């Protein structure tokens, strides 16, 4: 076993991905929540297609965000509970690299399916077809940010017994910028204007989150254990 960080990264990705695939409900439950939560809005607000069409991007983004947040527990909890997280912290491999691996798997297993399901939700919320592409692109850029920033919150609360509500309190404020630009990009695009500004800002947030948040997550995990 070489000491290469890349090997460690690859092994961690492979391990987490295999574990996620074995526990099917771990990645299907967020999707069902996403669908169900989106379905609640037409039932609560009324089925008028014009109303739904106007708020569809916002509804889809908010529920995707909530679904991603609910799924965050899976990044660290089971490893924390059986002690392997402690072992990972103590291992000779750079811990931040391992954190990157875990976040990547979480995004692949949660974020990508959310993005892939969004056209169907756009359809039932009567979103115009031109918006679907924008929606998927905004979620493609946005969901990694959700995983990255979310991992900080989970890392801070993983040691707590009832961390769930506290997690939302910590993370939702941090999610607000990406939500504003993500849903805004779709709204602006549907209105006929140029949405590239929104997408560029989202890209900037992604780069910032990508470079900085795993450092914060790793530090938070060292505190939590």
Partner 1 sequence: MWKTILKLTSFRNFYQFSGKLLPWFTAITFILFAIGLYWSLVIAPIDYQQKDSYRILYIHVPAAWMSLFVYIVMATSGAIHLIWKTKLSVVIANSCAPIGAAFTFLALVTGAIWGHPTWGTWWVWDARLTSELVLLFLYIGYMSLYSAIEDRASAARAAAILAIVGVVNIPIIHYSVDWWFTLHQSASISVSKGSSMHPSMYWPLLVMATAFKFYFVMVLMQRARNEILERDQNANWVQELEKEL
Site for partner 1, rule CB under 8 A: 24-25, 28-29, 32, 36, 39, 42-43, 47, 49, 123-124, 126
CB 35 within 8 A of CB 116: no
CB of 42 vs partner 1, minimal distance in Å? 4
Residue number, 41 or 76, with CB nearest to partner 1: 41
Residue number, 42 or 153, with CB nearest to partner 1: 42
Residue number, 53 or 96, with CB nearest to partner 1: 53
CB of 23 vs partner 1, minimal distance in Å? 10
CB of 186 vs partner 1, minimal distance in Å? 19
CB of 25 vs partner 1, minimal distance in Å? 6
Which single residue is written with the structure tokens 């989106």? 38
Residue number, 1 or 43, with CB nearest to partner 1: 43
Give how far Cα 9 sits from Cα of 6, 14, 99, 209, 219, Å: 5, 9, 9, 19, 18
């Amino acid at each position: 076993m070489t000491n290469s960080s890349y090997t460690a990264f690859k092994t961690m990705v492979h391990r987490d991905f295999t574990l996620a695939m074995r526990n099917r409900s771990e990645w299907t439950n967020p999707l069902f929540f996403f669908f169900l939560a989106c379905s609640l809005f037409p039932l609560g607000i009324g089925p008028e297609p014009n109303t739904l069409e106007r708020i569809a991007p916002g509804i889809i983004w908010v529920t995707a965000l909530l679904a991603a947040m609910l799924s965050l527990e899976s990044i660290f909890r089971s490893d924390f509970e059986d002690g392997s997280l402690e072992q990972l912290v103590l291992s000779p491999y750079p811990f931040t690299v391992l954190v990157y691996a875990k976040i990547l798997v979480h995004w692949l297993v949660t974020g990508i399916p959310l993005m892939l399901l969004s056209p169907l939700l756009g359809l039932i919320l009567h979103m115009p077809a031109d918006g679907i592409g924008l929606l998927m692109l905004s979620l493609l850029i946005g969901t990694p940010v959700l995983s990255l920033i979310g991992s900080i919150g989970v890392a801070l609360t993983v040691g707590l017994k009832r961390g769930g509500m506290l997690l939302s309190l910590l993370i939702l404020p941090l999610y607000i910028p990406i939500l504003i630009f993500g849903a805004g990009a779709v709204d602006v695009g549907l209105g006929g204007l140029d949405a590239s500004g929104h997408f560029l800002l989202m890209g900037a947030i992604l780069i910032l989150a990508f470079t900085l948040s795993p450092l914060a997550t790793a530090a938070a995990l060292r505190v939590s254990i």
